[in-house]
Amino acid sequence: MSKFSGCKAIVVGASSGMGREVARLLLNDGWTVGLVARRGALLESLATEYIVEDHSSEAIEDRPSEGRSMGHAIVREIDVTADDADVILRQLIDEMGGIDLYFHAAGVGWQNHELEKQKELRTVAVNGMGFARMVGEVYRYFASVGHGQIAVISSIAGTKGLGPAPAYSAAKAFENVYLQALEQQARTRGLDIYFTDIRPGFVRTALIDDGTHYPMVLDPLKVARKIVAAIYAQKHVVVIDWRWRMLTFLWRLMPNWIWRRFALFEADRLS
């Protein structure tokens, strides 16, 4: 039996991209995982690899045996921009009998050179309001039980204001600082809550499949493994990979009079 067979997690944004890859790794390690996203059909396609329960966590013992301890998947459709998203999240936590880990991978982003209104507002709604709504609710839950771990995929884009994607880089900076503030608050309150802020560079997912050549693109499975390792090690901030760590370090050192003249990539969408 896996040492994680009694562990429970919720992955928000599990329908695609890095959320899906991380959810699969957790399930393979024996976790019970609540798969959450706006697109339920894509969740089902992942969950069919495991025992699925749509509304409760009964029948967990009917898990198949394939020479390894596979986890149990519970599917729930939630749109993080909906006013009741946090209520549904708490209901799922209760139905699972509590959780040990919350992993937030839901996000959108575009390059927006023309500053199109709907793109900017959608980005803020999902990456700003939706993020605070969901992470805030799970923080309140962990505070009530006194322990837990919150891990999120933010981005290296929060390091500096990126001209091609104003709302995206600003929202990612918000996520970075929000998580940092919660970590400080948790320590001040004496809560045993761990926080892991994961900041990858460009990852080869559908979000950058726009025909544009992106620099230093990362393999999604390798990134997912690094993410899970960081979660298990309870790391605070992780930039993936070493090339992006060097780049963001240099970005921080760059004075604004140089940065404002710095030419960045051209494309339609941003990872």
Whole-number pLDDT of residue 40: 81
Bond preceding residue 210 cis, omega within 30 of 0: no
User: Is 39 inside a domain boundary?
Assistant: yes
User: Is 80 inside a domain boundary?
Assistant: yes
Whole-number pLDDT of residue 57: 37
Q: DSSP secondary structure string, 170-224?
A: HHHHHHHHHHHHHHHHHHHHT-EEEEEEEEE--BSSGGG-SS---TTPBPHHHHH
How far does Cα 257 stand from its chain's mean position? 33
Whole-number pLDDT of residue 68: 45
User: Is 2 inside a domain boundary?
Assistant: no
Whole-number pLDDT of residue 267: 47
Tally of CB atoms within 10 A around 163? 15
Tally of CB atoms within 10 A around 268? 13
User: Is 267 inside a domain boundary?
Assistant: no
Q: How would you class 19 by CB atoms within 10 Å of its CB: exposed for 0-12, middle for 13-18, buried for 19 or more?
A: buried
Would you write out the chain's pLDDT as a tens digit for each of its 271 residues? Answer: 568 878 999 999 998 888 999 999 999 999 999 999 998 888 888 877 765 444 333 333 333 434 345 678 899 999 999 999 999 999 999 999 999 999 999 998 888 889 999 999 999 999 999 999 999 999 999 999 999 999 999 988 888 888 888 999 999 999 999 999 999 999 999 999 999 999 987 666 655 554 455 657 778 889 899 999 999 999 999 998 888 888 888 888 888 888 888 766 554 444 4
CATH of the domain at 193: 3.40.50.720
User: Is 268 inside a domain boundary?
Assistant: no
User: Is 265 inside a domain boundary?
Assistant: no
Q: What is the total count of domains within the chain?
A: 1
